C-alpha cells in the first residue's frame, strides 16, 4: 500500500505570555500551544497541527484552508500577536 504525503504551509501566531510563549493557528479552531521560546511554541503548534489534520482525515472532516497572515489584513486586525511564523508540515 502506497502512503500519500500531503504538504501544508500554515501560519502560526505567537505572543509572549506570563510563563513563556503562547502559539495558535487561526485556521485550526482550538489549536493552541506553549513553549519556552517563540520558536519552540511555533514548533509545538506545528506538531499539534499534524495530529489535528490526521484526526480530521480519519474522521472524514473537511480540512480548512490556512490563512497566510502577511497577505490578510483582516486577520492582522482580528488577532494580537508578536510574531508570525510560516511552517511547512508533512502529513502522511
Would you list the DSSP string of 32-74? EEEESSHHHHHHHHHHHHHHHHHHHHHTTPPPPPPP-GGG-HH
The rounded distance, in Å, linking the Cα atoms of 79 and 54 is 26
Q: Given a cut of 80, is residue 72 above it in pLDDT?
A: no
Q: Does residue 23 contact residue 45 with C-beta atoms inside 8 Å?
A: yes
Q: Given a cut of 60, is residue 69 above it in pLDDT?
A: no
28 secondary structure, DSSP code: S
With the CA atoms of 19, 32, 55 and 5 taken in that order, what torsion angle do they form, in degrees rounded to the nearest 10? -90
**Which domains are assigned to the chain?**
6-91 (3.30.160.250)
Q: Given a cut of 90, is residue 91 above it in pLDDT?
A: no
The pLDDT tens digits for 31-57 are 999 999 999 999 999 999 999 999 998
Burial category of 10 from C-beta neighbours within 10 Å (exposed 0-12, middle 13-18, buried 19 and up): buried
Total-model pTM: 0.81
C-alpha cell at 21: 510563549
Amino acid at each position: 500500500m502506497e502512503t500519500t504525503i500531503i504538504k501544508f504551509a500554515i501560519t502560526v501566531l505567537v505572543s509572549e505570555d506570563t510563563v513563556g510563549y503562547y502559539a495558535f493557528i487561526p485556521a485550526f479552531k482550538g489549536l493552541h500551544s506553549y513553549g519556552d521560546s517563540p520558536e519552540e511554541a511555533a514548533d509545538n503548534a506545528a506538531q499539534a497541527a499534524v495530529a489535528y489534520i490526521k484526526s480530521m482525515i480519519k474522521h472524514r472532516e473537511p480540512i480548512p484552508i490556512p490563512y497566510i497572515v502577511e497577505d490578510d489584513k483582516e486577520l492582522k486586525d482580528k488577532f494580537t500577536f508578536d510574531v508570525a511564523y510560516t511552517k511547512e508540515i508533512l502529513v502522511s
